[in-house]
Amino acid sequence: MRGPHNIWRLIRTGATFERTGAMQVVFEAANVPPRLRVLARVLGWPFKFLGLRGDPELPPVTRALSALGPAYIKFGQILSTRPDIVGPELATQLRYLQDQLPPFPTAQARAMIEAELDAPVDTLFSEFSEPVAAASIAQVHRARVKATGEDVAVKVLRPGIVRAFRRDINAFYLIASLVEWALPSARRLRPNDVITHFEGVVMGELDLRLETAAAAEFAANTEGDAGFQVPKPVWNLSGREVMTLGWAEGASLGDNAAIDALGVDRAELSERVLQLFLKHALRDGYFHADMHQGNLKVAANGDLIAYDFGIMGQIDEYTRRVYAEILFGFISKDYRRVAEVHFEAGYVPADRDIDEFARALRSVGEPIFGMDATHISMARLLNYLLEVTERFGMETRTELILLQRTMVVVEGVSRSLNPSINIWKVGQPVVEDYIRTSLGPKALALDLKRTALVLSRFGPHLPKAVETALLRARTPEVRQPAPRDYTPVAWFLAGAGLAWAGMLTVLFLF
């Protein structure tokens, strides 16, 4: 339930950060002013004993987030891809949260598989390993299908994970409500809507039947993409709490030394990661929305392998075109067109000055171009962009949250492979290709063709619809008597009632 009892959860969160030493690390990473640090320490110290202890062998922030629960771990996974924001040392520490969390017992996993698939594990698999990876939602076992001899990955949900996520999300709702109450200027960011969106995404991730379907669709969409692989799902060995995919053999994308040992060019690989994401988002409107290093591998032949399809993003064709025009406008430095697109899509209120907005966008975009990526402070850039959107009354677009978040994660992954990558130059060919095919004469002809097909499906109904309209036009309209207006009577009865109530009150009191 959402309510004041979640205040306890917030107190425990702060106390856990204080007890594990994570508070000081976060303050340093975020460059929090000394006065605020002192104030937070003074307020937090009395509650320190209420904090969770966590694993003392882990670094402070990793220790705190892993102790607090799955939703906090998800947040840490996102930060692990942003060394430019939290620093390379902290980002490396947080990668532990991607796939190295403590597993639950194999016996418990086997029992869950048998209950889900209604058959003993030994009759389904000739081999079944101990956990090879464990994350916030589930853990993975390597196995061999007895009937076919195929090597597979068997993913099993953590016991009690649904209840744990609901508890964390309820606390996040309280945080969002407090932010809206204490900071009216933050209401345009729609914190509660953002949490609602996050809840929908996460609860979908907790049904592995949906993830199996997502894996199958994503594999079909990307089958022709060079240098990219998606393991195929095994439907008869998958269910709500268990999913079986083909085994993906390769080096983790977070292990640069292993990638170098394979002889793979990391600069080219970093560009491929970014371009593939843009291609899937723009071309298909369906993209992997959890592309951190823990969900990506590099095969021996250099192919990029994606897995873990619990969070997938989907955007409609109109939104794709808007997004592509905005990206293309930034790339081509046409800030006036970027501003026009924002106004046309309704992202900026119509009463704002479009020229002033274009100048503000120029101040955001210009520092990016012609500069080595290592000299760009993404934290400062995002902060300034937030100031610009606040100034012009832009509200958070919940339909773009997943796309924007994934873009940030993918950029972080690409930079971990090649710190000097410039995302705008690398993304330009993909965006230009989409613009050519989706916004030119070909796109117009395709839109007209689709419109004609839609009308043709209603063709059998058109004669009857025309006949009905003609008959209605020929039939004289029957005038209905105007309804009586009982408003004066209602006011009279209400006044009389109040008068009687007043008289009775006077008699009762005196």
Helices (H), 316-422: 317-331, 335-344, 354-365, 378-391, 401-417
DSSP state of 103: P
Tokens of residue 271, six digits? 């560009």
Helix then strand then coil, % of the chain, to nearest 5: 65, 10, 25
Question: Residue with structure tokens 């969070």?
Answer: 311
Tokens of residue 111, six digits? 């029992």
User: Residue 66: helix, strand or coil by DSSP?
Assistant: helix
Active site residue 290: yes
User: Residue 479: helix, strand or coil by DSSP?
Assistant: coil
For strands 228-229 and 304-306, give the pairing.
parallel
Contacts of 267 (CB under 8 A, 6+ apart): 417, 418, 421
Tokens of residue 347, six digits? 């992202």
**Among the options 290, 351, 433, 485, which is catalytic?**
290
DSSP 203-249: HHHT-HHHHHHHHHHHHHHTTT-TTEE-PPB-GGG--SSEEEEE---
Give me the active site residues, please.
290
